[in-house]
Structure 1
């Protein structure tokens, strides 16, 4: 029997713990980079602290919004997301990619919103079309096409990591939602070659994939980041070097405070500390799943499941990239890595989950 009141506290406390861990390691990791940019050593820490405050506001806003609101306005939310993903292509690019919308005093990454939109749309669709999901043309295909449009816009940015994440979460929701496995694997047979072709289309992405298999063949080029990540993890040993004592953060490991922050956690706290952080993430996933199981309403159950699974899969991919078990994807560690859009949207997810617990308590 799930104790709903305890569940609410456990989820909040676990998120707060991960955010505190993130702030500690963002400071540890980003201080040298801030100084190099002729900023105060607390520059990235303060910015992330502000992001967390904004994220808390987003969490509270989501907590106040009834889940029925999302059910009623799922298509307007979908089309707003679609519009924002198109607007991105008219914005200035950075590092060969167009992923951000630049506004006064703030930047926003629409692909973060797209994660929520895909989960919301599929939760609504799988609930509404429950009796038709075994029919390919009237049940499975329409939802696949609409999700595919969002995924296509994101991969063109290009953002292969977020695209892969969305596709994995979408197909998992189809399985949980009752779609036929023959339809799902049939579409996977079409989508997978497209993703591979997109990955191999760009020389840099192709090189990253090949160097994932053997990073030492280009140890000072494409393979450099993975080698430095493995060096960071390996040098931490069992107990770590101690907080603040990482050497890889001293400009050896690129993106140390974002895409590779788990490597610094492993270096400074060792296998023990890194394992504890991962177990905290697993614990949060378990509690979020319990929140999903509180609901008899299929829409609410799938919405909470989708958001919970999305957070976990992104965490899983981040960790596996850091230890060299997956090609580099450019995905941050939820709650922990530096990043404004990511922390705000993830805390919004938690607000939705907490709201669902309240509604389950009163159902």
Structure 2
């Protein structure tokens, strides 16, 4: 039995996230060495050491999630429902402010972002709820009312931190999962229309800082020394790298020109140092993980597993899109990290844990398919 289980694991989905995370640790060291000395007056390997510690912790979480049956997470739905808003309220009351957002909790010198954990909690909650309501999924309010209300509360608590980037990811993940749950077309059209109206109504509540991020994204040269500074220096880093790059560790922009180059703009440093080869490795790896996750969802006949795989894949895809969109000046800079690559322990931990769940779903799916094929073969003979 153990041999059959081991054969059922998707080892491409095991190896690639680990390689991408190792690549991220290397690039965090390369991109942050100057920033660590200039801003934090630390050693050149300050951020590297922190990220390396989180990598090992995340690796343990990855293999744990890959080994534990995914069905166990259904037991935590009520806990997620009650604990998520409470945790976000605690952040608002006692959290630590970083980069103009009160989104961190520090316990004994250990800092983490609760919103990162709530993202995967929301995916588990919505997957379990929509899977349970499949018999009446065509009735909008009984099926979608309570989970959408819960999502709205979580979004508002994150929005007032203010963390527009994470809040947007929460909403987009929920939207993708609603679209994948079996919703009727007329209900989808109404929900989409209501969502667009809600976004328009929220514009007056955006702070001047948040509005400036939108204007600087589309016209960074209107404020080259302030709001457009990071985007412009990201462009310069990409231009410096050209096709082949300047070489690992040879970035010029990390020498105080590009603010916090190891976080949301790490792809600019990858482009400058490793050129199209480094960028292609990251993009193709992320694309493979996302497509693989959607393929697992498509061939699974368990609604909970299928929605869970869609939610995890959409989280990685949406987060990647927002990060790269900010780098290219298509979307505002919101501080969203590049999955598996950017500096950030909470983000890396949750992403590795989530892909571990994806690996476990894949294993159980392959076991079911193999057992069915074996039974069909025995019946035919």
- Relative to the length of structure 2, the TM-score reads 0.89
Tell me which of 136, 146, 154 is aligned to 2:140: 136
1:175 is aligned to 179
1:105 deviation in Å?
3.2
1:6 deviation in Å?
7.3
Query: After TM superposition, what 4+ stretches of structure 1 lie above 6 angstroms from structure 2?
Result: none
1:197 deviation in Å?
4.8
2:311 is aligned to 306
Residue 154 of structure 2: SS of its match in structure 1? helix
More moved, 109-118 vs 280-289: 280-289
CA distance in 1, matches of 2:267, 2:14: 22
Q: Structure 1 residues 169 and 111 mapped into 2: Cα distance closer, same or farther (>3 Å)?
A: same
For residues 196-345 of structure 1, the aligned pairs below 5 Å read: 196-198=200-202, 201-345=206-350
1:109 is aligned to 113
Residue correspondences, number: 361
CA distance in 1, matches of 2:193, 2:237: 37
Residue 165 of structure 2: SS of its match in structure 1? helix
1:93 is aligned to 97
1:67 deviation in Å?
1.9
1:38 corresponds to 2:41: yes
Residues 7, 287 of structure 1: 8 Å contact kept: no
Residues 322, 336 of structure 2: 8 Å contact kept: yes
Give ranges in structure 2 of 5+ residues lacking alignment: 369-381
Residues 246, 264 of structure 1: 8 Å contact kept: yes
Q: Structure 1 residues 197 and 220 mapped into 2: Cα distance closer, same or farther (>3 Å)?
A: farther
- Two-structure CA RMSD over aligned residues (Å): 1.9
CA distance in 2, matches of 1:120, 1:240: 41
Tell me which of 25, 28, 41 is aligned to 2:27: 25
Tell me which of 323, 343, 351 is aligned to 1:346: 351
1:120 corresponds to 2:119: no
1:173 deviation in Å?
1.1
Residues 134, 140 of structure 1: 8 Å contact kept: no
Residues 7, 291 of structure 1: 8 Å contact kept: no
CA distance in 2, matches of 1:196, 1:238: 40
CA distance in 2, matches of 1:176, 1:53: 34
Note the alpha carbon deviations across 1:102-151, whole angstroms, 9 max, x for none: 11131121111111122111111211111322222212222211111111
Note the alpha carbon deviations across 1:195-237, whole angstroms, 9 max, x for none: 3554552001111111222111111111111111111112211
Q: Structure 1 residues 275 and 6 mapped into 2: Cα distance closer, same or farther (>3 Å)?
A: farther
CA distance in 1, matches of 2:333, 2:310: 26
Residue 98 of structure 2: SS of its match in structure 1? coil
Q: Structure 1 residues 276 and 57 mapped into 2: Cα distance closer, same or farther (>3 Å)?
A: closer
Residues 160, 199 of structure 1: 8 Å contact kept: no
Residues 171, 184 of structure 1: 8 Å contact kept: no
Residues 8, 367 of structure 2: 8 Å contact kept: no
Residue 106 of structure 2: SS of its match in structure 1? strand
Q: Structure 1 residues 51 and 210 mapped into 2: Cα distance closer, same or farther (>3 Å)?
A: same
CA distance in 1, matches of 2:66, 2:113: 22
CA distance in 2, matches of 1:96, 1:193: 27
More moved, 55-64 vs 239-248: 55-64
Q: Structure 1 residues 289 and 236 mapped into 2: Cα distance closer, same or farther (>3 Å)?
A: same
More moved, 214-223 vs 93-102: 93-102
1:7 deviation in Å?
5.7
Greater C-alpha Rg:
2
Q: Structure 1 residues 197 and 203 mapped into 2: Cα distance closer, same or farther (>3 Å)?
A: farther
